[in-house]
Amino acid sequence: LEHLMFKGTDKVAASEFSHIVARNGGRENAFTSQDYTAYFQSVARDRLELVMELESDRMTGLRLDDDKVLPEREVILEERSLRTDNDPAARLDEGVQASLYHNHPYGVPIIGWEHEIESLSTEDALDFYRRHYAPNNAILIVSGDITAQELKPLAEKYYGIIPAGEVAPRVRPREPDQKTARRVVLKDQRVRQPSWNRTYLAPGYASAIKEKKISPYALDVLAEILGGGATSRLYRSLVMGKAVAAAAGAYYDGDRLDGGSFTLYGTPLPGGDLGVMETAMAGEVDKLLKDGVS
């Protein structure tokens, strides 16, 4: 549907949305995440009203039929083939995410599974569009050379006139306590250098604040101490000290609405042993848990 939102309305012909923005010196695009779909434009201040009108029009005025939907479905299948199916690292990451979540939809890839994409119809797209695309299910963000006082009349003019939709409350499945470890392995002849990572479920910024769990900012600091560059503990120990890895680090992903993850990663030296590197990684984590940080 993110792609189909550029296929035209009664007022704007198919693909003309992008051309209008370009002719007015702007840039635009869209993306889909685990929690939301975003449509954005960067324009000069005096073109703001134009793009707000364009977005208002396609919020409820989209016109779809099989001639528009079915070719775009093939584009999405090709995009999945290019970005995931033909990329060993992406396939591995997809498998890890599917194994990480037992119950939450975060285990489903954003682009979807191939067999499900193949079955999508025009009516599926329209059903989703009618159900979710309404001003009471959207957030308008405007940044730059404008004040809230100047912006509010434009928002009321273009979005205030659209009736609110009957948007059902979002169902948010909870992830059960996890009691088993999972190991996901992918082998591909195109991969010459092995890589390794270990991912843990962790509170995200939103869920940690809501549920008063461990501070997500502590996890940000922990990721920096453990694996945030050449001065981090993992790099100094595994790369510079023990010389069992060509790269090692850690990062925290807390942006998802229903929880995040904490990941350790490493790449052994050419000809090196993954098991030796993993053991060394675990040793650094154990040391930090035992002795804390300075």
Active site residues: 2
CB 199 within 8 A of CB 96: yes
DSSP 211: H
Alpha helices in 81-132 (DSSP H): 88-100, 114-119, 122-132
Instruction: Give the DSSP H/E element, type plus range, for residue 251.
Output: strand 245-253
Q: H/E/C letters for each residue in 43-57?
A: CCHHHHHHHHHHHHH
Residues with Cβ < 8 Å from 189, sequence gap 6 or more?
Answer: none
CB 128 within 8 A of CB 69: no
Q: Is residue 208 packed enough to be buried (19+ CB in 10 Å), middle (13-18) or exposed (0-12)?
A: buried
> Which residues are paired to 38 by β-bridges?
31
Structure tokens at 217: 């900012």
Q: What is the DSSP letter of 5?
A: G
Residue 270: left if φ>0, alpha if ψ -120 to 50, beta else—which one?
Answer: beta
- Per-residue burial over 168-183, b = 16 or more CB atoms within 10 Å of its CB, e = otherwise: eeeeeeeeeeeeeeee
Asked if 104 and 258 count as a contact pair (C-beta separation under 8 A), the reply is: yes
Rounded distance between C-alpha atoms, residue 21 and residue 136, angstroms: 25
